[in-house]
Amino acid sequence: VDATPDVRKSLETTLNKLKHSFGAETEDLLSIPKLEFKEPQLEAVIDKQVKEIVKKE
């Protein structure tokens, strides 16, 4: 079942308000954002902790 013209107009109006409010003129507000995470640098943390332990001894 397709949306009625009134529903489409309401959706368009709401999206335009959101785009204006959040400054998202180039973003598609109906798509899920792609999230990317970098792997943490665990070796650097471990090295720092080892150096702190050695200093205490």
With a cut of 80, say whether residue 12 has pLDDT above it: yes
Per-residue pLDDT band for 6 (boundaries 50, 70, 90) equals very high
Residue entry with tokens 């959101």:
18
Q: Which two tokens stand for residue 33?
A: 């954002």
Q: What is the pTM of this model?
A: 0.42
> Which is more confidently placed, 35 or 23?
35
Distance CA 32, CA 6 (A): 25
Average pLDDT value for residue range 1-23: 88
Per-residue pLDDT band for 46 (boundaries 50, 70, 90) equals confident
